[in-house]
Structure 1
Amino acid sequence: MTDDPWVPPVVLLAVDLVILTLRESRLHVLLIERGIDPYKGNLALPGGFLRHAEEDITAAAHRELSEEADLDVETLRLEQLGVYGDPGRDPRGRVVSVAYLAIAPRLPEPTAGTDAADAGWQPTDRVLSGDLDLAFDHQRIIADGVERARTKLEHSALGTAFCRPTFTITDLQGVYEAVWGITLDPRNFYRKVQKTEGFIVPAGTSRKAATGRPARLFRAGPCTALYPPMVRPAEGPSAKE
């Protein structure tokens, strides 16, 4: 038995941010190009270390997003995604990161700042396929963020936020296809949407189509939670549900 006092291990605390939006009918994630080592020149999530022991973790996430990408943090609702602390995830030492997620429509182009050499939107499918070389374990964090977003579309009315004030069911289907990364059968999608009470409501007008009958327009309904949920079908080239 030893009388030596216990010495706590040195653990650094950081934050990482997964910011998702739709651009040109594809799901995109905000990435920066690292301007410093380690992984200088690699793409990474915006984020960084807490500045001091008294800094609130969520406040640090807002600060890093503002500093590294110059986005208006007041317009984004951050939610905690998870905690990542595998040994060896950062060559600088034992680093535990608290990851945050935000999903929002029509986000502007970011501007790089602090230790970021560049900042921009990248398609999530390129990240998930491994086509982009990301620093640290950020591919895993993004994969978790995308899966959270896909689940949100099943159980909430989030999809309507990515549409214009009035939209067609085809427009809404495009949002689901972009986030879920699959092709949906239009008839089954229409049936599911109409069966979910309060999800969308008729706008009383139609949009003239190039061919065929004018498409009916809808707007977001009063409900925020979907029941029954819009259950994601099995993935494949064309999900028939």
Structure 2
Amino acid sequence: MIDDQWVPPAVLLAVDLVILTLREGRLHALLVERGIEPYQGQLALPGGFLNNAGEDLLEAAHRELNEEAGLTADTLHLEQLAAYGAPGRDPRGRVISVAYLAIAPGLPEPVAGTDASAARWVPVDVALSPCTRLAFDHRQILTDGVERARNKLEYSALATAFCGPEFTIAELQQVYEAVWGVRLDPRNFYRKVKSVEGFVVPVGATRKTETGRPAQLFRRGPRQTLHPPMTRPAPEPPGADQPVAGQSGTDEEGDRGDE
């Protein structure tokens, strides 16, 4: 039975963006320094309220991408992550935020948006460390976005979204190592990638590597779901060697150019 005295609660709707890219071999997220209250001066994910009642959620995400990072939807992978609506998550009132995950290769230096005083790329491990304070519940949103990316690398072709139109197997391996935070054996990785038909497709060209040997170039193939999956290894214990910036621990598969 509907209560005639019931009044719909006042709820504001916003979008927040988890924007991920690789920089110098490390997974980075875009963070902004809030220029207004609440949480003025603290780091936060880029985002904002819907402009008006007629703006679609995806339209709002596209607008915020352009305003906060100068990005357009055709240059990146964009998917809805989750909705966050816990009471008290925003001191301004009841705010429900729909978060989106955006991934692209080689993103430029960001430009701060309308309510931010600065914007910068921050390594994900630094952004999620106890020393970094994030506004609102953005630590949880960022954690969820990173974990979504880590999971999808196992069973989908999402890793290629971190790469340019053409890439080497070593560059693809660097994506997996940076996102998962592990080292991978280059020969095993190469065999796994090649065992998934349609995951990557050779373009018929090579690129000279740092060692001077040519490495075969690939592009994203038609397959969206990977079978067999690229199983994520167990996390390495604290103190274990981590991937070195700009390196993937491979021999740049230059000796495999004819495969």
TM-score (norm 2): 0.80
Name the count of aligned residue pairs: 236
Identical aligned pairs, as a percentage?
Answer: 67
Contact residue 68 and residue 115 of structure 1 kept, 8 A: no
Q: CA shift at 1:216, angstroms?
A: 4.4
User: Match of 2:150?
Assistant: 150
More displaced stretch, 226-235 vs 197-206:
197-206
User: Match of 1:92?
Assistant: 92
Cα distance 1:12–1:210, how it changes in 2: closer, same or farther (>3 A)? closer
User: Match of 1:177?
Assistant: 177
Cα distance 1:110–1:230, how it changes in 2: closer, same or farther (>3 A)? same
User: Match of 1:137?
Assistant: 137
User: Match of 1:42?
Assistant: 42
Cα distance 1:161–1:11, how it changes in 2: closer, same or farther (>3 A)? closer
Gaps of 5+ in 1: none
Q: CA shift at 1:37, angstroms?
A: 0.3
Q: CA shift at 1:23, angstroms?
A: 1.0
User: Match of 1:7?
Assistant: 7
Cα distance 1:165–1:57, how it changes in 2: closer, same or farther (>3 A)? closer
TM-score (norm 1): 0.86
Gaps of 5+ in 2: 243-259
Cα distance 1:6–1:125, how it changes in 2: closer, same or farther (>3 A)? same
Q: CA shift at 1:190, angstroms?
A: 2.6
Q: CA shift at 1:92, angstroms?
A: 1.1
Q: How big is each residue's C-alpha offset from its partner over 1:97-116, in whole Å with a ceiling of 9 and x where there is no partner?
A: 01111111121111113111
**Is 1:103 aligned to residue 142 of structure 2?**
no
Cα distance 1:202–1:80, how it changes in 2: closer, same or farther (>3 A)? closer
Contact residue 170 and residue 186 of structure 1 kept, 8 A: yes
Q: How big is each residue's C-alpha offset from its partner over 1:119-140, in whole Å with a ceiling of 9 and x where there is no partner?
A: 1111111122233211011011
Q: Which runs of 4+ in 1 moved over 6 A?
A: none
Q: Hey, what's the Cα distance between the residues in 2 that align with 1:166 and 1:67?
A: 28
For 2:90, the aligned partner's letter is: D
For 1:55, the aligned partner's letter is: E
Q: CA shift at 1:84, angstroms?
A: 0.2
More displaced stretch, 28-37 vs 150-159:
150-159
For 2:37, the aligned partner's letter is: D
Q: Hey, what's the Cα distance between the residues in 2 that align with 1:70 and 1:205?
A: 32
Q: Hey, what's the Cα distance between the residues in 1 that align with 2:188 and 2:127?
A: 30
Cα distance 1:184–1:77, how it changes in 2: closer, same or farther (>3 A)? closer
Q: Hey, what's the Cα distance between the residues in 2 that align with 1:70 and 1:165?
A: 20
Q: Hey, what's the Cα distance between the residues in 1 that align with 2:53 and 2:22?
A: 36
Q: CA shift at 1:207, angstroms?
A: 5.7
For 1:48, the aligned partner's letter is: G
Q: Secondary structure at the match of 1:173?
A: helix
Contact residue 70 and residue 112 of structure 1 kept, 8 A: no
Q: Hey, what's the Cα distance between the residues in 2 that align with 1:164 and 1:51?
A: 33
For 1:194, the aligned partner's letter is: K
For 1:107, the aligned partner's letter is: L
